Chains A and B, each alone.
Chain A
Amino acid sequence: MWRIRAIPEVCIGCGLCRVWCKVEHSDSKNIHKAFKPNAPETISCVELEESGCESFAMQCRQCDEPLCAYGCITGAMTKDPDTGLVTVDKKKCVGCWTCILMCPNGVIKRDERNGRSAIKCDLCKDRGFPSCVEHCPNDALVIEESPMNPLAAHSAPLSGSSRGDENILFSEEVDDDE
């Protein structure tokens, strides 16, 4: 499974990770349109942490023991036993924000653009490769590949969700992209 990892030593705090995350979560998915004054609001699932001259970017670590999923009152937040991805089913989420209270890294956001739903880093699964990692100019965000911890298998996604598509993360094309 994949995780994004921050390398604080080389982070220059430029914030491009946030910019590209916002593009990815915008309606247009286009950097020329996403930040226009009248463009609909968009969300970054990456936090840029700064103190003095230290900085690093932080997003979901796709925990082996995801407290957000364990605390989820509806069953909307689950960890996929095959991909290890912790995902929110927007149809089921009621926006109670228990996940926000449970996540010790503070990387789950409120998405109130269309109803209420939690939103978090999904490793850009529809895009194929995490945009923040791809666009980090200093390699301060990297992909960490680790074997799936069998104990971490939480529960499969709800029936009807696109389980097959999620494997795109691990497809050949991704390697080409790198």
Chain B
Amino acid sequence: MNKFDYLIIGNSTAAVGAIEAIRAAGDNGSIGVVAHETEHTYSRPLITYFMAGKVAEENVYYRPGNFYERMGVECMFGRQMKSVDVEGRSVLLEDGERIGYGLLMIAAGGSPIAPPIPGMDRPGVFFMNTMDDARKAKGWLQHNKRAVVIGGGLTGLKTAEALANLGQEVIVVELAPRVLAAAMDEACSELVRQVLVSKGIEILTEVQVTRIDGCDDSNDVCFATLSTGEVISCDTVFMAIGVRPRIELVKDSGIEIGRGILVDRHMRTNIPNVYASGDIAEAFDPLFGGQRVLPILPNAYIGGRVAGMNMTGKEASYNVGMSVNSVNFFGFPFMSAGFATQEEGDGFKVFKKLDGTNYRKIVTRESKLVGMLISGDVERAGLMTGMMRAGVSVEGMEQDLLDGKLGLICLPKDVLEERIHSSGRNWQ
């Protein structure tokens, strides 16, 4: 049986974070990476940019071509983990091979949710989760022109943006009353809607696609039927209603799961030599005060890094894993962090300011900043996430925060001193 000191499942952000940490810690142990996708590590958020032709293929890759050689990693790509035997310290692959490990890190991410809609299997229905999805869709779109996007979350809307950039007619179908409902409040999602609509994207809310049909002479997508009974003609359908951690991989293994693989602040599971991070993990969120699944790239990298450090015996804690999102649609920027959708009540105070398309909202709890939402003028927004991580009191500063009139100089003396002098090693 082939065996590695470090066996990593997955080849994306969290995996790269772990590999870089293991090598930065000076550990020369053997590292093996098993990944379902055959691709060199790439930036998942860039696949819609690639589809739209906005980012060239060579720039989709997250690390240089020689990354694995330089890191001394043995790649086992195009192969899938099936199950893990934590007692025997080995992983079984779908192709029947068993691989042993000293330490295991599971970073297999999430799989796109496939709603049980009749017609899901027709040619012309795509997910937008992998480079392969983007490549296939890119080819298909060359001879098609009217697409329906199911899901008005981040992936759905970035897909819609890419389609509009390709000159497609685009209809977004969202079940909730507004787009990006999970990440933004009403005022901010309205601004997003306006940006999208101004670019010709049609947005339907509080409605679902109930079936996808072909035409008389072809199996390919031709119509989508909505829950209202309305039938819309289209030639392409994108499914983007979310991802779900691939917890089926560890089912009955003895590794504890919730919505994701449960990990402590060292990114360790209940099994001492098994770690997890990224979209598959349910990890600590300091603002939330507990574990939750937060499928965002910064947390995948940081979680992977923390796991990597701890695996080599260098203690590191995952204390900055709050929700952060920065996204733009057609160049217009939006940012959110922490309790961004929270409204006044339940111990939260909310302050808002809307000035044309510039929106700012801050959320405080016990006078500490715990949430923010910004559109338009995002200058120095990191000062606020910095305040959130540092847990400083912002009492009396609320208006300045709303006006964007803030600086490090507003921080308490000790925090400020630390910012000026520190080598940026400890962001807890």
Contacts and interface: CB of A to CB of B under 8 A. Distances in A.
B70 A71 contact: no
A92 B423 CA distance: 26
B182 interface: no
Interface in A48-69: 49-51, 54-56, 58, 61-67
Contacts of B390: 104
A55 to B, nearest CB: 8
A70 B13 CA distance: 9
B378 A159 contact: no
B420 A94 contact: no
Contacts of A101: 324-326, 335, 337, 378, 381-382, 385
Interface string A76-112: 0000010000000001101111111111111011100
Interface residues of B, number: 61
Interface stretch (A1-9, A19-27, A32-40): A1-9
Contacts, number: 167
Contact of A49 (B64, B328, B407): B407
A122 interface: no
B383 A105 contact: yes
B407 A106 contact: yes
- Binding site of A, secondary structure by majority: helix, strand, loop or mixed? loop
Interface residues of A, number: 55
B424 A65 contact: yes
Interface stretch (B53-61, B230-238, B260-268): B53-61
B99 interface: no
Nearest to A74: B43
B46 interface: yes
A97 B331 CA distance: 11
B214 interface: no
A97 B328 contact: yes
A74 B46 CA distance: 7
Interface stretch (B90-98, B167-175, B296-304): B296-304
B140 interface: no
B24 interface: yes
Interface of A: 3, 5-6, 8, 47, 49-51, 54-56, 58, 61-67, 70-71, 73-75, 81, 91-92, 94-106, 108-110, 116, 146, 149-156, 158-159
25 contacts: A51-B407, A56-B409, A61-B423, A61-B424, A63-B425, A66-B424, A73-B297, A81-B24, A91-B59, A95-B328, A96-B45, A97-B381, A98-B324, A99-B382, A100-B326, A101-B325, A101-B337, A101-B378, A101-B381, A101-B382, A104-B383, A106-B383, A150-B24, A155-B20, A158-B63
